[in-house]
A and B are shown apart, each in its own frame.
Chain A
Amino acid sequence: MTDLCTPPDASTNTSVDAAAARLLAAHASGTPCAPVRDLIDDLDTAYAVQDRLTEHWLAQGRRLTGRKIGLTSPAVQRQLGVGTPDFGMLFADMAVPDGAEVPTGAVQQARAEAEVALVLEADLTHDRHTVADLLRATAFALPAIEVCGSRVRDWDIAITDTVADNASSGLYVLGTRPVPLRDLDLRLAGMVLERRGEQVSTGAGAACLGHPLTAALWLADTLVRVGRPLRAGDTVLTGALGPMVPVASGDVLEARIDGLGDVRVAFSPDDSDSDSHSHSVKEA
């Protein structure tokens, strides 16, 4: 439906268009759509859909600020029947300041998770990166809350659905005290996520592919392969440190990651209709 990248062949192109159109319509209306897996057969095509959306949004002037890594826990991978993580795009308008209140409907079917964010100070453009490359390229780490969302009705997602849907991304909140990696044991950094003081998720760095840096390395190599490498200034959300939790209006979520500090986000209380479907933020 929008401007195109180079199509592999006409029929794939048609289905990529159709899937992208369905997801864009869900974004625009704030009403979740049917899954798109009926239109796309494989992971490459799913990423082609995501890329179609990315091009659309970049053309609209949205600024790319980084990437998120998803499916970093063995449990979630098993659930979706995959053996690798996935990734999605982060745009500037998805970033929420620490402690801010966001409209509950800003993300469709919102769910939240606590993560380690890395902020880069160098490009990662090699075919293969070593952990040394990654450590040298990382300016600092921050605690983060990712507010995931799904444009697919009831989160009824297969791997192709979530990949096409920008890895079920929504908003992200970064903490404000940068910590250099040399001061951190990310593997055994404890994580606790609280909702209005009640513990709703706990975990540690090792829950993210064994180590958040392992996930980041996968991302760096993968992005070079697909031609949109990580650049200096990019933020990388490395993946959940514990189970994802649903979000309701009025919630205040605070994540604490040992060594990294804390980060917080609030969701506006709204009237009787607390269902997040009804007031989605429209794409510009």
Chain B
Amino acid sequence: MPGQHTTTPDAAAPEATALAAALDAAALAGRPTARLTDTTPLDVPTAYAVQRAGVDRRCARGESLIGVKMGFTSRAKMAQMGVDDVIWGLLTDAMLVEDGGVLDTGGLIHPRIEPEIAFLLGRPLSGRVTPAEAARAVAGVAVAYEVLDSRYDGFRFTLPDVIADNASAARFGVAAWHHPDRVDLRNLGLTVECDGRPVATGSSAAVLGHPLRSLTAAARLAAEADVVLEPGFVVLAGAATAAVPLPPDAYVRICAAGLGAVEVTTR
């Protein structure tokens, strides 16, 4: 179960470090690698240790942790992966693409993009929180996108593989923040347009029925990982549609009802 991990299993550390190094190398080279589980038995706690070790490598290079992304937040995806809980990945500042900015796909392996709702935290959040407590911690909501780029061949992986690979996190972008009281997040339409043509359409309801549920899940995972979601952190709640391939030389816009749009141009 994704929920039962801890971040500092010292015994697993050397192995986790080595596995993280392999994934990190794949990401830096922009070349896919074999699934870890093809050669190494991996349980979920160890997979999270690999994920953390990978992010530690990024932080050692000067990146800083600025948020988390939630994965497997749709029933369909959970069923497909044979899991019944969400997973998460960690977001660093180097992954953030400015709204309206340029994203170089050249360094990525096989990027896909998906529309999301993002939360900006105004207060620390961790543990078993009620929806009301989660809502109170939110300083802003925005339409966002996430670019996924599995470091594995063919975007194919088992649950521990994808957790170790930081839940395929690669890049993300966020539109202007809106006051959370002004938007009912339950059933907002979202679209992804590529060069002006719609390529994906969905509803925020696809995120666990309500994106706020994803935030309470993030708080729970944070507590289990013994970390606190800090004020200023961004939480990407999960995809509103299936991910679509992100081509180079494209102008991509993600719209959500009442939240405006976030744009990115790819090279």
Chain A interface (Cβ < 8 Å from any Cβ of B):
185, 187-192, 198-199, 202-207, 210, 242, 256-258
Chain B interface (Cβ < 8 Å from any Cβ of A):
75, 186-191, 198, 201-206, 209, 240, 255-258
Contact (Cβ within 8 A) A202 B257: no
* Secondary structure class of chain A's binding surface, majority of residues: strand
Contact (Cβ within 8 A) A187 B75: no
Chain A residues, Cβ within 8 Å of B209: 192, 199
From A192, A199, A206, B201 is in contact (CB under 8 Å) with A206
Contact (Cβ within 8 A) B205 A192: yes
* A190–B257 CA distance with the chains assembled, in angstroms: 8
Minimum CB–CB distance from B213 to chain A (whole Å) comes to 12
Minimum CB–CB distance from B148 to chain A (whole Å) comes to 19
Chain B residues, Cβ within 8 Å of A256: 187, 205
Minimum CB–CB distance from A131 to chain B (whole Å) comes to 18
A256, closest chain B residue (CB): B187
Contact (Cβ within 8 A) B202 A204: yes
* A257–B189 CA distance with the chains assembled, in angstroms: 9
Minimum CB–CB distance from A240 to chain B (whole Å) comes to 11
* A53–B203 CA distance with the chains assembled, in angstroms: 37
B184, closest chain A residue (CB): A258
Chain A residues, Cβ within 8 Å of B198: 206, 210
Contact (Cβ within 8 A) A204 B75: no
Can you add 9 more A-B contacts, CB < 8 Å, to A192-B206, A242-B202? A188-B188, A188-B255, A188-B258, A192-B187, A204-B202, A206-B191, A206-B198, A258-B186, A258-B257
Minimum CB–CB distance from A46 to chain B (whole Å) comes to 28
**20 A-B Cβ contacts within 8 A?**
A185-B257, A187-B189, A188-B255, A188-B258, A190-B190, A190-B257, A192-B187, A199-B75, A199-B205, A202-B202, A202-B203, A202-B206, A202-B240, A204-B189, A204-B203, A205-B189, A207-B201, A242-B202, A242-B203, A258-B189
Chain A residues, Cβ within 8 Å of B203: 190-192, 202-204, 242, 258
Chain B residues, Cβ within 8 Å of A199: 75, 205-206, 209
A73, closest chain B residue (CB): B201
Q: Which 10 A-B pairs have the closest CB atoms?
A: A204-B189, A190-B203, A188-B257, A188-B189, A190-B187, A192-B205, A207-B201, A202-B206, A258-B187, A202-B203
Chain A residues, Cβ within 8 Å of B190: 188, 190, 204
B203, closest chain A residue (CB): A190
* A258–B210 CA distance with the chains assembled, in angstroms: 13
* A257–B203 CA distance with the chains assembled, in angstroms: 10
A204, closest chain B residue (CB): B189
* A242–B209 CA distance with the chains assembled, in angstroms: 15
A243, closest chain B residue (CB): B76
Chain A residues, Cβ within 8 Å of B186: 190, 258
Minimum CB–CB distance from B134 to chain A (whole Å) comes to 20
* A189–B258 CA distance with the chains assembled, in angstroms: 10
Q: A203-B202, A210-B198, A258-B257 are in contact. Are A190 and B188 (CB under 8 A)?
A: yes
Minimum CB–CB distance from B135 to chain A (whole Å) comes to 19
* A191–B240 CA distance with the chains assembled, in angstroms: 11
Most buried by A among B190, B191, B202, B258: B202
Minimum CB–CB distance from B214 to chain A (whole Å) comes to 14
Minimum CB–CB distance from B236 to chain A (whole Å) comes to 18
Contact (Cβ within 8 A) A189 B202: no
* A280–B133 CA distance with the chains assembled, in angstroms: 51
* A242–B187 CA distance with the chains assembled, in angstroms: 13
* A204–B205 CA distance with the chains assembled, in angstroms: 10
Chain A residues, Cβ within 8 Å of B189: 185, 187-191, 203-206, 258
From A207, A210, A242, A258, B188 is in contact (CB under 8 Å) with A258
Chain B residues, Cβ within 8 Å of A192: 187, 203, 205-206, 209
Chain B residues, Cβ within 8 Å of A207: 201
* A210–B188 CA distance with the chains assembled, in angstroms: 16
Contact (Cβ within 8 A) B257 A189: yes
B206, closest chain A residue (CB): A202
Chain B residues, Cβ within 8 Å of A202: 202-203, 205-206, 240
* A185–B188 CA distance with the chains assembled, in angstroms: 10
* A191–B203 CA distance with the chains assembled, in angstroms: 6
* A207–B191 CA distance with the chains assembled, in angstroms: 9
* A192–B205 CA distance with the chains assembled, in angstroms: 6
Contact (Cβ within 8 A) A203 B201: yes
Minimum CB–CB distance from B83 to chain A (whole Å) comes to 16
* A192–B206 CA distance with the chains assembled, in angstroms: 8
B205, closest chain A residue (CB): A192
* A199–B209 CA distance with the chains assembled, in angstroms: 7
